[in-house]
């Protein structure tokens, strides 16, 4: 069932009540993509209007600008016990989404190397919440709340809070602020593997979820 969750209203500086969804459905991901796509296109249009050559657009755009959650919804057609999709909604708009996987992923960091963890397949905040996409972001703490949800899922599965993911280079700073550590020698397609250990997960839940980030 949907439940309340606090996110930051960047205009007022106050925390506001949003809705956290533990089971985002395919039609809701399509809805989110319909809301987000025009804002992604606007990023490219702004760069073109500023005279950025087409050959440079990809380099100057956010690295996830090509993502399409309508297509990513196909991930949910797999094992329903292994894959979960979380979402944060406010005022009829999707503020953030994450797909996590409970199967086939293990930790590489001690003291829990080889033990299972929750793997974050995709995580994204709405374009209007990101400083590299708009001049005045609307809401903050979206990514933080989604990481928190992954940690709590890890706890409930007796994974001790362990979480892992491959991070886009632009997002590495955010994950480091969440307490995640880069696993050396595990890079894949230009992305580094990051993990949250059981101790870092406990610290996050004790107060780290208030970390100052742009997500």
Give the model confidence (pLDDT) of 27-73 as tens digits. Answer: 999 999 999 999 999 988 988 898 988 888 888 888 999 999 999 98
Q: What is the pTM of this model?
A: 0.93
How far is Cα 79 from Cα 168, in angstroms, rounded to an integer?
26
Q: What are phi and psi of 100, to 5 degrees?
A: -125, 155
Contact criterion met (CB below 8 Å) for 24 and 97: yes
Q: Which two tokens stand for residue 165?
A: 């993911």
| CATH class name, domain 3-210 | alpha beta
Confidence category of residue 2, pLDDT binned at 50, 70, 90: confident
The pair of three-digit structure tokens given for residue 156, joined into one six-digit string: 């409930």
pLDDT, one tens digit per residue, over 69-84 is 999 988 887 677 789 9
pLDDT over 60 (residue 157): yes
Domain boundaries of the chain, sorted by first residue: 3-210
Residue 214 has pLDDT above 60, yes or no: no
Q: Distance (Å, rounded) from C-alpha 83 to C-alpha 208? A: 26
């Amino acid at each position: 069932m949907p439940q309340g969750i606090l996110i930051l209203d960047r205009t007022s500086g106050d925390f506001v009540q949003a809705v956290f969804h533990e089971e985002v459905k395919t039609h809701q991901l399509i809805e989110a993509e319909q809301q987000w796509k025009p804002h992604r296109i606007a990023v490219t249009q702004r760069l073109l209007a500023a005279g950025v050559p087409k050959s440079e657009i990809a380099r100057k755009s956010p690295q996830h600008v090509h993502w399409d959650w309508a297509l990513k919804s196909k991930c949910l057609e797999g094992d329903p016990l292994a894959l979960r999709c979380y979402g944060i909604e406010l005022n009829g708009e999707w503020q953030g989404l994450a797909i996590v996987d409970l199967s086939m992923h293990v930790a590489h960091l001690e003291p829990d190397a080889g033990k299972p963890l929750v793997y974050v397949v995709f995580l994204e905040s709405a374009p209007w919440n990101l400083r590299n996409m708009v001049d005045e972001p609307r809401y903050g703490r979206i990514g933080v709340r989604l990481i928190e949800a992954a940690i709590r899922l890890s706890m409930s599965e007796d994974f001790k809070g362990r979480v892992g993911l491959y991070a886009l280079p632009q997002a590495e700073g955010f994950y480091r602020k969440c307490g995640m550590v880069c696993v050396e020698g595990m890079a894949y397609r230009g992305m580094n593997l990051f993990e949250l250990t059981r101790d870092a997960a406990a610290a996050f839940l004790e107060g780290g979820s208030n970390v100052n980030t742009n997500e």
